[in-house]
Structure 1
Amino acid sequence: MNIYLLRHGETESNSKKVYYGKLDVELNQKGKAQSEAAGSKLKEIKFNKVYTSTMKRAVQTAQIAVKNKECEFIKDKRINEMNLGVFEGKNYEENQRDYPEEWKRWTEDWKSYAPPKGESYIEFYNKIKGFIEDIIKQNDEDILIVTHGGVIKSIYAYILGENLDLFWKFGTKNGDLTLIKYEYGNFYIDSIVHCEE
């Protein structure tokens, strides 16, 4: 099984470097160009299914990148970006200033602590784990998952032995394309490509 992971293209929130997960924003022009660039690398692949989060930025990226409308498109909220609650829409300095106690607790216990009105990383990770475990039961040959940076890094952590600390050992840029292979009950990362616009 070939599992392609595509991080959505850039949004204005990305360019402003604010924290956002549940905020439902659209791609900017650069993000649309990144999606086109990813699509050029995927044009020869006949996907059995294309999974996206329910967020506009992921759906738009999938629609631009995948020209073959014959494949099945499935939205799944389990691969939405992490809900950061009151931290959403603010940058690093603003969150430290506006929520000093909550920020301190989050940075000291990033796995278990949920920001007010948000979710903990463990809650977020468990949804993604369930999604991937359902995917591999489908036994499709080629699937595309268009999602978010936090989701992709969590998938890496899962396939590399459920080591949640590995979340911080990977970068992921807007428009990045990863190929993960699942063969004989094992995962491995085959490639990670930056799809520049």
Structure 2
Amino acid sequence: MNLYFVRHGETEHNKKGCYYGSIDVSITEKGVLQAEKGSEKLKDVNFGKVYVSELKRAVQTANILLKDKQFELIKDKRINETNFGVFEGKSHEEIKALYANEWKHWCNDWKGFTPPEGESYIQFYNRVKSFMDDILKLNEDNVLIVTHGGVIRSVYCYLLGGNLDFFWSFGSRNCDITIIKYEYENLYIDSITHV
């Protein structure tokens, strides 16, 4: 089975460099162009299923990637981006100024700390893990999964035995296409393409 993970196209919040996991924003004109380039690279792939985050930026990207192909988009909240709670929409400088104590705890325990009204990275990883456990039960040749940078980095950690320390060891650019193969009960990254 080939799993095609695509990060959504660029958003205004990407350009601002702020935390915005659960804020529901659209992709920019550049994001549309990125998705169109991705569509060209995926045009010859016949997908059995298409999964998307519930968030608008992922759905918009998926629709552009698929162009005229008719697919049911299976929305799954487990592949939504991290919920940063009250940190949403703020830069790290703003968080540090407004929530100095919480910022300190987050820096000291980025995996276990839960931002007020948000979720910890461990909680986030566990929902991504649940999604991946279910995906591996599918009997499909090609599956498209349009999601977010944090989800894709978490999938890399999943491939590496659930070692969350690897989260920061990978980049994930807007509209990157990552092909992960699942063969003989073994997962591996086959390729990562920048559009």
What's 1:119 paired with? 119
Distance 2:58 2:71 in 1: 17
- Cα deviations by residue, 1:139-173 (Å, 9 ceiling, x for unpaired): 21100000000000000000111111000100111
User: Deviation digits for residues 62-112 of structure 1, max 9, x if unmatched?
Assistant: 000112533332000000000001111011111111111001101111111
Q: Which residue of 2 aligns with 1:7?
A: 7
**AA paired with 1:46?**
N
Partner of 2:108: 108
CA distance in 1, matches of 2:176, 2:50: 16
Answer yes or no: is the 8 Å Cα contact 1:18–1:92 preserved in 2: yes
Tell me: CA distance 1:68–1:138, structure 2 relative to 1, closer, same or farther (3 Å).
Answer: farther
The alignment covers a number of residue pairs equal to 195
User: TM-score with structure 2 length normalisation?
Assistant: 0.98
Q: Distance in 1 between matches of 2:171 and 2:70?
A: 32
Report what 1:183 is aligned to.
Answer: 183
Matches within 5 A, 1:117-156: 117-156=117-156
Distance apart, 1:27 and its partner CA: 0.4
CA distance in 1, matches of 2:13, 2:32: 14
Aligned residues: percent identity?
59
> 1:46 touches 1:71 (CA, 8 Å); kept in 2?
no
Give structure 1 stretches of 5+ with no counterpart. none
Which residue is equivalent to 2:25?
25
User: 1 CA distance for matches of 2:19 and 2:95?
Assistant: 9
Alpha carbon RMSD of aligned pairs, Å?
A: 0.8
Matches of 1:84 and 1:37 in 2, distance apart?
30
